Amino acid sequence: MRPAPTAHALEGLGLPPAAAEDLSSRVQETLKRHTRRTDPAEQVRLWTEFRGLLLGDPRWRWNFEVHREVHGVAYDGRDPEDGPAPDWVPGPPELRDSNLARLIAERRLSSYEELHRWSVEQPEEYWGIALRKLGIVLRKEPSRVLGPASTPERPAWLPGASMNIAESCFRGDSHRVAILSATESSTDLRKTTLGELHRLANRVANGLDDARVARGARVALYMPMTPESVAIYLGAILSGRVVVGIADTSAPEEFAKRAGIAGVDIAFTIDAHVRGGKEHRVYDKVVAADGPRAIVLPAPDGTTRISRPRDTAWDEFLPDGTEHEVVAGNPGDPTNILFSSGTTKDPKAIPWTHLTPIKAAADGYFHQDVHPADVLAWPTSFGWMMGPWLTYASLVNGAAMALYTGDPARREFGEFVSKAGVTILGVVPKLVRSWKAGRTMEGLDWSRVRLFSSTAEPSSPEEMLYLMFLAGYKPVIEYCGGTEIGGAYLTDTIVQPSVPSTFTTPALGIDVAILDEGVPSERGEVFLRPPSIGLSTSLLNYDHSKEYFAGVPRGPRGEVLRRHGDRLERLPGGRYRHLGRVDDVINIGGVKTSAEEIRSVIAHDLVYDAKPAAVDVDRSGRHVLVIYAVPRDPRQLGSTELRDRLRADFQKAIRDRLNPLLAHVEDVVIVPELPQAGPGKTRTMKELERDYLAYRAARKVQDSR
């Protein structure tokens, strides 16, 4: 078994001699009390004791390399059949007071597994209870939860009901704080009460009426997530319009494409905002795109530059009236149009209905364990599904959201998290990698954070362990889903141990099947078992049935399945590991693996992040392996020496830790940032292949000069 690290080894990790000697001695003494070190339960107890030791002394509290070394000692010799090592286990509060624990007790069940099975076998009962727990406001009650004529492809949820989902965001005490916000330009904490938010949303609704924007018209949101954008979002929906979310980072042509697909009538945007110390002029992009008439919110200095006669300043648009009658509709009426990343074709335009937010709010309630006392932060915008998700998961559950306009990679964001008292912090792995590389958030008081949640791309165990380390080893809820789901199909829970970079369960109300060439398998493509509230039933610009159901094999029991496009592996102990997208499969000489599996073995001290791609360089049908790499030192971007070293080191890592047949790396492309398809998402394999072929051609031209 691995012994305690020596004082010399700990000095090599950055501890002063006296601290290194002291910690080495304490670890040795702790090991003497744990003699059955290969027992999985004993390993958890050992790590729990080590955690207390590591967190309790400022001499090594913020040295992650030391923590990682001691963590390795705790779990050394773990049998693969025991499953991945948990870094957090629920205690009595989670097993007694969490929303999930209470539901398990109410159902008189003995485990989460039983609860999940009930939720998918009795969907009407589960979703009926979820509606009541969430307090969803219905103007007219449905005849039942799921109509009898429903099919997996065309479910009839809440038949006969009349509702407006935005109304469910405004229940409760109007004086409670609904939003805490700050910006890079003004770090002072701003508090917006629920009543203030409601009144502003009603003013937006009245302004849309005055501007003669028809009911059902498409209203674009093209700006950061601020208290004003939340009010615009909810005001448009309350008054019967449909919000079109477009990320404010999108280029003018991307804004024009999405506005055209959705048929946008009017756009809300901002003159400019500051991110990463730079001014970003958003309204100028609307003008450059020849976009629809715009309502322009002011820049941080309070100025608004209007350059087209048809556009209006925010203050001129807003009327004084703070009351507006709610426009109710059918549960399946659209309320929001969101877009997939669209790296290989036009992005899918995915309508959210009044039903979709019920999924988001239910996931927040059960899987992120949101309570009214919570404050949720998740760097995002209304251009991505996590913007609407955050709004409903917070406000429907009576909690507050914390919104920061600026660069979340900077320490100022971490200070905002502390100042706002954030209790649930959402991240993308790319952001955590940035924090870890720069040690950006170390030393901050994140003691009020009680859990993290991670989405957008597969994470690595080390970066998620680091995330837990920042807040004193709080659990990470890994959360995997999509815009067309309204939340997750795969997740963690607060009543099960947290194992970084793995998932414990399908989400409540939804189930999955893993198939390899149509046959049930422990490793392969994942398919969803419909119906479930939240799953899309239409697309604006593609055939929904063709995209999600055509050519899909039947499930093990002959059931209809729905395509999703991810690959999963079921691990010993029942957990799941995400293997990336189906279109991220790498086939080199007939040996198939996923980009994520290669990425997991090529971590390098000189590299901040890396992404492999399979490229057919000569159009022969034979693919070679290319790796994009982001150096930790930006001065090495043009270094051929670094490229050659990484190529050799990557080949050795793949040969030794994965498969020798994959261990020929054709090229390493050193880039300042991985090519992006969205926040925290790299491009698909086909897109990366096109990028590389263009790069290779340009390099040949340059070399010939």
**Average pLDDT rounded to a whole number, residues 622-626:** 89
Tell me if the bond preceding 224 is cis, omega within 30° of 0: no
Q: Give the pLDDT confidence of 453-471 residue by residue, as tens digits.
A: 999 877 888 999 999 999 9
**Which among 35, 2, 1, 7 is positioned nearest to 19, based on CA atoms?**
7
Is the dihedral angle over the CA atoms 516, 520, 525, 530 positive or is it negative? positive
**pLDDT band at 678, cuts 50/70/90?**
low
Sequence-separated (6 or more) residues with CB below 8 Å from residue 5: 13, 23, 24, 27, 69, 70, 73
**Average pLDDT rounded to a whole number, residues 669-681:** 75
Where is 698: in which H helix or E strand? helix 685-704
- The answer to whether residues 211 and 257 touch, using CB atoms and an 8 Å cutoff, is no
Give Cα 285 to chain centroid, integer Å: 27
**Average pLDDT rounded to a whole number, residues 520-526:** 94
- The answer to whether residues 341 and 581 touch, using CB atoms and an 8 Å cutoff, is no
Tokens of 457: 């791309």
Q: Report domain extents, the chain.
A: 7-82, 165-562, 589-704
- Give the per-residue pLDDT at 344: 46
Task: For the chain, count helices (H), then strands (E).
Answer: 22, 30
**Which among 289, 287, 314 is positioned nearest to 211, based on CA atoms?**
314
**pLDDT band at 676, cuts 50/70/90?**
low
CATH number of 165-562: 3.40.50.12780
What is 233-270 written as a DSSP string? HHHHHHTT-EEEE--TTS-HHHHHHHHHHHTEEEEEEE
Q: Give the pLDDT confidence of 193-236 residue by residue, as tens digits.
A: 999 999 999 999 999 999 999 999 999 999 999 999 999 999 99
- Give the per-residue pLDDT at 682: 62
Tokens of 213: 């924007």
- Give the per-residue pLDDT at 673: 84
Q: How far apart are CA 320 and CA 334, in angstroms?
A: 28
Q: What is the CA radius of gyration of the chain?
A: 26
Tokens of 234: 């909810």
- The answer to whether residues 51 and 85 touch, using CB atoms and an 8 Å cutoff, is no
Using the predicted structure, report yes or no on whether residue 585 has a pLDDT greater than 80. no
Using the predicted structure, report yes or no on whether residue 342 has a pLDDT greater than 60. no
- The answer to whether residues 469 and 432 touch, using CB atoms and an 8 Å cutoff, is no
- Give the per-residue pLDDT at 623: 86
- Give the per-residue pLDDT at 679: 59
Tokens of 531: 């119906």
- Give the per-residue pLDDT at 661: 82
CATH number of 589-704: 3.30.300.30
- Give the per-residue pLDDT at 345: 66
Q: Give the pLDDT confidence of 66-99 residue by residue, as tens digits.
A: 999 999 999 999 998 898 899 999 999 999 999 9
The one-letter amino acid code at 413 reads F
- Average pLDDT over the chain, rounded to an integer: 94
Spell out a b/e string for 222-231, using b for 16 or more CB atoms within 10 Å of the CB, else e. Answer: bbbbbbbbbb
Least confident of 133-147, 309-323, 338-352, 410-424: 338-352
Question: Which segment, 487-501, 649-663, 671-685, is predicted with the most confidence on average?
Answer: 487-501
Tell me if the bond preceding 319 is cis, omega within 30° of 0: no
Using the predicted structure, report yes or no on whether residue 291 has a pLDDT greater than 90. yes
What are phi and psi for residue 372, nearest 5 degrees? -55, -25
Tokens of 30: 């702790």
Q: How far apart are CA 379 and CA 361, in angstroms?
A: 18
Q: How far apart are CA 505 and CA 499, in angstroms?
A: 12
Q: How far apart are CA 702 and CA 42, in angstroms?
A: 60
Spell out a b/e string for 429-449, using b for 16 or more CB atoms within 10 Å of the CB, else e. Answer: bbbbbbbbeeebbbebebebb
Using the predicted structure, report yes or no on whether residue 620 has a pLDDT greater than 90. no
Q: Give the pLDDT confidence of 112-143 residue by residue, as tens digits.
A: 999 999 999 999 999 999 999 999 999 999 99
**pLDDT band at 394, cuts 50/70/90?**
very high
| Residue 115 or residue 187, greater confidence | 115
**pLDDT band at 659, cuts 50/70/90?**
confident
Using the predicted structure, report yes or no on whether residue 247 has a pLDDT greater than 50. yes
First to last CA, the chain: 59
Q: How far apart are CA 24 and CA 28, in angstroms?
A: 6
- Give the per-residue pLDDT at 510: 97
Tokens of 491: 């997740």
**pLDDT band at 681, cuts 50/70/90?**
low
- Give the per-residue pLDDT at 581: 81
Report the percent of the chain where pLDDT is more than 70. Answer: 98
Q: How crowded is residue 672: how many other Cβ atoms within 10 Å of its Cβ? A: 9
- Give the per-residue pLDDT at 508: 98
- Give the per-residue pLDDT at 341: 66
- Give the per-residue pLDDT at 222: 98
Is the dihedral angle over the CA atoms 118, 120, 123, 126 positive or is it negative? positive
- Give the per-residue pLDDT at 395: 98
Q: Are strands 585-588 and 591-594 parallel, antiparallel or unpaired?
A: antiparallel
Assign 474 to helix, strand or coil: coil
Q: How far apart are CA 111 and CA 257, in angstroms?
A: 48
* Strand-pair partners of 400: 375
Sequence-separated (6 or more) residues with CB below 8 Å from residue 203: 231, 235, 318, 319, 320, 321, 322
**Which among 521, 511, 507 is positioned nearest to 561, based on CA atoms?**
511
Q: Give the pLDDT confidence of 395-438 residue by residue, as tens digits.
A: 999 999 999 999 999 999 999 999 999 999 999 988 998 999 89
* Strand-pair partners of 405: 183
- Give the per-residue pLDDT at 677: 59
